Amino acid sequence: MSKIKPSKGAPYARILGVGGYRPTRVVPNEVILEKIDSSDEWIRSRSGIATRHWASPEETVAAMSVEASGKAIADAGIRPEQIGAVVVSTVSHFHQTPAIATEIADRIGAGKPAAFDISAGCAGFGYGLTLAKGMIVEGSAEYVLVIGVERLSDLTDLEDRATAFLFGDGAGAVVVGPSGEPHIGPTVWGSEGDKASTIKQTVPWDAFHGGNVSTLPLDSQGAIKFPAITQEGQAVFRWAVFEMAKVAQQALDAAGITADDLDVFIPHQANLRIIDSMVKTLKLPEHVTVARDVETTGNTSAASIPLAMERLLATGKAKSGDTALVIGFGAGLVYAATVVTLP
């Protein structure tokens, strides 16, 4: 018989507050067209994107996260020192160690919480939310700060016609805390590693370490290109539209609700065509508010869902207490979907 005492966590967890930060610089498609042979009409028709935000040197991954976190903590009505864990999802923090979560925790005045980074691409927010829920129910933390943050402009090849227009920068954060009722449903998540090559970094970091630089990609001026994100657009589109709609339906089933019970749909803001196709495949009723933040924010990977959530609430298109289906999907290929009550 085990001598270990049972955990004393909360029966359930919920999102208590949300915050977002978008860099001050707004970049229209015209700027992208300076480097690629395309048109504003083509970019909008393929992605739905009209503008995106790019960070300045001062708007670092940590700085943007601190801004978003402060808003989320204030929205939750708690003190920073009550945060028991900080979980950061990002692929654009370029220090292998330490985790950027530790710096963020210190800068927001959280005391000495558990702090770590995760790498789950565009599904990272869903992964972090699931970990936060587990910590609260298990009892290892009362409040968990989950951050999705990216500076994807640092990983964008502006000469790549297939991806140059897609990516933006920003940070979104939520505070997850205890609840007496279920407000975060079961997570449907997974990976399809056989498709990993469809979204990837062009060259690994160690290619610059004692490697043969003649094998590295060059830009139009003959300079070595920094590693960038590349993808097989059509393969990703088909996977996202058909397979992720199935995952989204599984999340609804796991939560014990139907599409008619939904108030809001917040998918990863990858591409407007993908979003609209998922809405059609899921047969969402007209009363369901759909996040289309991608039009003015671009694809911000792990930050896209909390940023879209924050904007819907701030503009009144969604309200506290609404039932929302959230789903993230991307590089790996990985995915995570769940139903939540909005803060």
Please confirm, yes or no, whether 29 is among the known catalytic residues.
no
Query: Per the residue annotation, which of 53, 93, 183, 268 is the catalytic one?
Result: 268
DSSP string, 62-124: HHHHHHHHHHHHHHHT--GGGEEEEEEE-S----SSS-HHHHHHHHTT--S-EEEEE--GGGH
**How many other CB atoms are there within 10 angstroms of residue 316's CB atom?**
7
| Annotation says 268 is catalytic | yes
The residue from 53, 122, 183, 271 that is catalytic is 122
Choose the catalytic residue: 53, 93, 183, 299. 299
DSSP state of 240: I
Place of tokens 């927010």: 125
299 tagged catalytic: yes
Q: What are the strands, taking DSSP E only, across the chain? A: 12-21, 25-28, 51-54, 83-89, 114-118, 143-151, 169-179, 188-191, 199-201, 229-231, 264-267, 289-290, 323-330, 334-341
**First CA to last CA across the chain, in angstroms?**
41
List residues with catalytic annotation.
Answer: 122, 268, 299
